[in-house]
Amino acid sequence: MTLHASYDPENIFAKILRGQMPCVKVYEDAVALAFMDVFPQSEGHTLVVPKAGMARNFLDMPGDWLGSYMLCVQKIARAVEAGLKPDGLRIMQFNGAAAGQTVFHLHFHVIPVWEGRELGRHGAGAMAKPDELEPVAAKIRAAF
Ligand code: 5GP
């Protein structure tokens, strides 16, 4: 059912976009806000959240906004790569609770991967503190 429900403007990412909840910011422009995931699956796990569209998931996103948003996802992924030098990157996106989605405002995960380092599980990691996330975010910010 969560795939087709209506958009809830009280979801946590909407609150972060409105400045009502804090985040460790990596990048912001007119299209999207990127910030560190507080339950990171790896060092540098970044979320890219579109500002427009009121989309719960990828299926909902109006086409007019999709292109600029996807360019933004790529821009963040490039900065994560340049700033942290991982061996690989996972770009992930979940649609509906059955698929693993837990926050119902469209977002892409940018997850750096290093050979020999195991990734945390989606939605199951320990909560990171802002002072742990901030130095990593600073490296990514410096790479734009
Ligand atoms: P989803 O499961 O919807 O694909 O991803 C939601 C992501 O948001 C998860 O990786 C989760 O760790 C992260 N998350 C949940 N609540 C918060 C929050 O309050 N702040 C931040 N920065 N990330 C959050």
Which residue range forms the structural domain that includes residue 47? 12-141
**Catalytic pick from 45, 107, 109, 122?**
107
What is the signed CA dihedral for 78, 20, 22, 6, rounded to 10 degrees? Answer: -50
CA of 107 to the centre of ligand 1 (A): 9
Average pLDDT over residues 102-118: 97
Q: Residue 16: what pLDDT? A: 98
Q: Residue 124: what pLDDT? A: 85
**Residues in contact with ligand 1 (CB, 6 Å cut-off):** 12, 23, 35-39, 47, 94, 100-103, 123
Q: Which atom of ligand 1 is nearest to the CA of 100?
A: 2
CATH number of the domain bearing residue 18:
3.30.428.10
Q: CA 101, 48, 42: angle at the middle one, nearest 5?
A: 75
The answer as to whether 6 is a domain residue is: no
Residue 75: count other Cβ atoms within 10 Å of its Cβ: 17
The answer as to whether 117 is a domain residue is: yes
pLDDT > 90 in the chain, percent = 94
- pLDDT at residue 38 tops 80: yes
**What does pTM read for this prediction?**
0.98
The whole-angstrom separation of Cα 25 and Cα 22 is 9
With b for 16 or more beta-carbon neighbours within 10 A and e for fewer, the 27-42 pattern comes to beeebbbbbbbbebbb
Q: Residue 1: what pLDDT? A: 60
The whole-angstrom separation of Cα 113 and Cα 84 is 10
The answer as to whether 2 is a domain residue is: no
The answer as to whether 113 is a domain residue is: yes
Per-residue model confidence as pLDDT tens digits over 9-29 = 999 999 999 999 999 999 999
Q: Which atom of ligand 1 is nearest to the CA of 40?
A: 12
Is 107 part of the annotated catalytic residue set?
A: yes
The answer as to whether 96 is a domain residue is: yes
The whole-angstrom separation of Cα 136 and Cα 62 is 32
The answer as to whether 136 is a domain residue is: yes
For 122, list phi and psi in degrees, rounded to 5.
-60, 125
Residue 10's nearest CA partner among 22, 25, 21 is 21
- Structural domain count, the chain: 1
CA of 39 to the centre of ligand 1 (A): 7
Per-residue model confidence as pLDDT tens digits over 113-136 = 999 999 999 988 789 999 999 999
The answer as to whether 72 is a domain residue is: yes
The answer as to whether 54 is a domain residue is: yes
